[in-house]
Amino acid sequence: MDGLPHEDTKSVCPLCAVGCSVRYDGDVDGARGWPDAPVNTNGELCPKGIGAFDVFDEEERLTRPLVRRAGDLEAVSWDIAYDRIEREFGRLIAEYDPDALAFLGAPHCTNEENYLFQKLARVLGTNNVDNRARLCHNSTVSAMEDRLGSGGMTNSLADLAEAEAFLIIGSNPADQQPVAFDSYIRSAVNDGAHLIHIDPRANATTRLADTHIAPRPGTDALVVALVVKTILDEGLFDEGFVEERTTGFEAFVAAVEELDFEALAERAAVDSHAVREAARTFGEAERAAVVAGTGIEEDGHSDTDTADALLNLLLLTGNIGKRGAGMNLFRGLTNEQGACDAGALPHRLPGHRSIEDAAARAQIGKEWGVEPPAEPGPTELELVRAFGNGVRGAFVLGENPAVTKLDSETVASGLDALDFLLVQDVTHTETTAHADVVLPASIWSEKSGTVTNLDRQVQRMHAMEAPPDAARRDFDILATLGDRLTDCEFDYDDPAAVFAELTAANPQYAGMSEEDLDSGSQRWPFPESATAGTDVLHRDTFVSGERRAPFTPVITGDCPVDADDDGLVLITGSRSGDIANTTMGGSVGTAEKTLAIHPTDADERGLIDDERVAVESACGSVETTVEISESVRPGTVFLHARAAEPLIGNDRTTVTITKHT
């Protein structure tokens, strides 16, 4: 290879879930889009996307399979590596049972790869398969699944441009999903739509907002309940929708009436007037949309209070099942949606069908020759917690749990306690350091297949170059492992053959074909009879099959909001789930390493701008530079997620700050 990708081959940007189309046009300066692409319809790319071909440093690539011998990882042939995996997996299943294995997969990988990955796990006899989509948006997806029947973004990016009001909460799309923000939301706001931003910190998204509400971290559910209370008090709700499409309204109203507006506003430390104004803006709009991100998932906890409060708001105002509205989860990684659609989830088969659905299991079983087990597996975090204790062997596909799951010490000792760890990655990571076998895989530009973006569009990737040296495509590795480790059919010529099987196993993809995808995208649900997928979900009935969705209780319970006397609540953001900012890029920029602190808190501690300080939490400490800023609220400090890593435990973090001596 000449080191550069082939010109004019089309693929999908690997750097976030917006799913912009990219190609290499021979210009060494970077990737390009093209007009009429499915998402970036004017051919626009954000600066990150333009650099998509430079994400991986060739020097750092894994190019040979590695096997641990006498403590060291040694380069070996593929056959030797496969033999070792076959032996170890076989031994663990014989000595324990298939549930002694865990499979952590892979929003950086394609739909076909995730499908093969979960098929491998299930054919071996375990539902211990999950992917890190869980970590980013767990509570929002669970709340949506429970109440609406689907965790998928309810609307499309294109129809969001019709919204008259946006409520963006715990999300900073101006920085994190720039093309979605600039091409769809910014244009609507420029045309007169309102933008309400709820975030304890002002960021790039706030610049476009007409209202910014900065609650105490962790009080979002409460603030949304106050918005709901105003809408009810002022009669701004959609009576017709409530009557026809919801249940539990009376009990809900009774609970909201009980709320003491001023006391709760004080608890969240928000301005009552601003909350009421925001409620009027949202309630009076004909079409109003919620955009939610990882900020309402802080703590890694799985409670769904905020997501439930937001769904209550949307049901109350009739903003579900129509254009320019809905619950729009702005996902993070390129194929986070697709990894879930393909079944890399412990409780779901391909197409989000419950693992407990006997008919679905039987249908899949007919295709595979072996039925998947009926018992749902644990979640990714539960699996990681069980490393070395219940879980004896793990297969990690394109993840870096040593850094990104739980606190790093717990994970490191768990990884060491495993009898056998297989990692399939493109580079050395903190996780490969614990591995028994490392398989050198492929990056996005070396592979073909499909990925599914945040607004449910399936798009096709085409390989532009070959993997370096002895590295292989993820797809080929997974097919070989399936062949070697199981008695089932894993003999696929190419990703198209797997996509055909996936569309048979996943009713939401039924009727799609890789060939048709070449001329654009196809959106799920895509029933075979239709010529196009559904852009707005829940129109006449909810995906759950029900005509009505329930209101849920209003939760205003204790919020873990205050630090003790000297402490400050740490908020993090600019979460780096992507390859550029984490393993490959290695570090955050200098500007992002600063600790944003409010002038009042800085004064109290005698801190000045650019001063070096130590920030300490119960888990660890980091050194950083002070940046006095009104972008954060008093009582909180902000640090880039990557820089904050040593400080984060399993709960909301409070920190103390001392001058560096």
Ligand X SMILES: Nc1nc2c(c(=O)[nH]1)N[C@H]1C(S)=C(S)[C@@H](COP(=O)(O)OP(=O)(O)OC[C@H]3O[C@@H](n4cnc5c(=O)[nH]c(N)nc54)[C@H](O)[C@@H]3O)O[C@H]1N2
Contacting positions for ligand X (CB under 6 A): 16, 48, 108-109, 132, 135-136, 169-172, 175-177, 198-201, 203, 217-218, 220, 293-296, 298, 332-333, 397-401, 403-404, 424-427, 429, 441-444, 474, 571, 573-579, 581-583, 641-642, 645, 648
Letters for 41-80 (x = contact with ligand SF4 by CB under 6 A, - = none) are ----xx-xx-------------------------------
Would you call 632 helix, strand, or coil by DSSP?
A: strand
Shortest Cβ 212–ligand X spacing (Å): 11
Nearest-approach distance from CB 335 to ligand SF4, in angstroms: 11
End-to-end CA distance of the chain: 52
Hey, what are 642's tokens?
């990557």
- Beta-sheet strands, E only, within 18-115: 21-24, 31-32, 66-69, 72-75, 101-105
Per partner kind, with CB cut-offs from 5 to 8 A, the member of ligand SF4, ligand X, Mo ion, none near residue 13 is ligand SF4
Tokens found for residue 551: 């209101």
**Interface with ligand SF4 by CB under 6 A: which range of 16-24, 128-136, 282-290, 620-628?**
16-24
Among 15, 109, 144, 579, binds ligand SF4 (CB under 6 A): 15
Task: Name the residue nearer to Mo ion (CB basis): 134 or 216.
Answer: 134
Positive or negative torsion for Cα 383, 384, 385, 387: positive
CA-based nearest residue to 438, from 477, 484, 412, 404: 477
Nearest to 291 by CA among 544, 50, 17: 17
Could you say which of ligand X, Mo ion, ligand SF4, none residue 179 binds, taking C-beta under 5 to 8 angstroms by partner kind?
A: ligand SF4
Nearer residue to ligand X within complex by CB, 135 or 316: 135
Choose among ligand X, ligand SF4, Mo ion, none what residue 397 binds, the Cβ cut-off being 5 to 8 Å by kind.
Answer: ligand X
Q: Which of 31, 104, 136, 313 binds Mo ion (CB under 5 A)?
A: 136
Residue 162 or 474: the one with the smaller Cβ distance to ligand X is: 474
Q: By CB under 6 A, how many residues form the interface with ligand SF4?
A: 13
Peptide bond into 525 cis (omega under 30): yes
Closest CA to 6 of 24, 20, 21: 24
Choose from ligand SF4, Mo ion, ligand X, none: what does 523 bind? Cβ within 5-8 Å by kind: none
Q: Is 5 in the site for Mo ion (CB under 5 A)?
A: no
Residues 202-231 that bind ligand SF4 (CB under 6 A): none
Encoded one letter per residue, x for contact with ligand SF4 by CB under 6 A and - for no contact, window 145-164 reads --------------------
Q: Which residues contact 228 (CB under 8 A, 6 or more apart)?
A: 256, 279, 309, 312, 313, 316, 554
Q: How far is the CB of 246 from ligand X (least distance, A)?
A: 25
- CA separation for the pair 277, 614 (Å, rounded): 40
Give the Cα separation of 319 and 324 in Å (integer): 8
Q: How far is CA 259 from the centre of its chain?
A: 33
| Rounded Cα–Cα distance for residues 120 and 389 (Å) | 22
Assess contact for 321 and 171: CB atoms under 8 A: no
Touching Mo ion, residues 565-594 (CB under 5 A): 577
Report the residue number, 19 or 318, with the smaller CB distance to ligand SF4.
19
- The entry of Mo ion, ligand SF4, ligand X, none near residue 346 (CB within 5 to 8 angstroms by kind) is none
Cα(22)–Cα(16) distance, integer angstroms: 12
Question: What DSSP state is assigned to residue 615?
Answer: E
Structure tokens at 547: 């005509």
> Whole-number minimum distance, CB 235 to ligand X, in Å?
27
* Contacted entry of Mo ion, ligand SF4, ligand X, none for residue 364, CB cut-off 5 to 8 Å set by kind: none
Closest CB 505 distance from ligand X, rounded Å? 22
Among 38, 178, 200, 338, binds ligand SF4 (CB under 6 A): 178
DSSP for 115-173?
HHHHHHHHHHT---EEETHHHHHHHHHHHHHHHHS--S-SS-HHHHTT-SEEEEES--H
Supply the minimum distance, in Å, between the C-beta of residue 165 and ligand X: 17
Per-state percent for the chain, helix, strand, coil, to nearest 5: 40, 20, 45
Tell the smallest beta-carbon distance from residue 452 to ligand SF4 (Å): 13
Count the site residues for Mo ion by CB under 5 A. 3
Residues lying near Mo ion in the complex (CB under 5 A): 136, 332, 577
| Chain positions contacting ligand SF4, by CB under 6 A | 13, 15-16, 18-20, 45-46, 48-49, 177-179
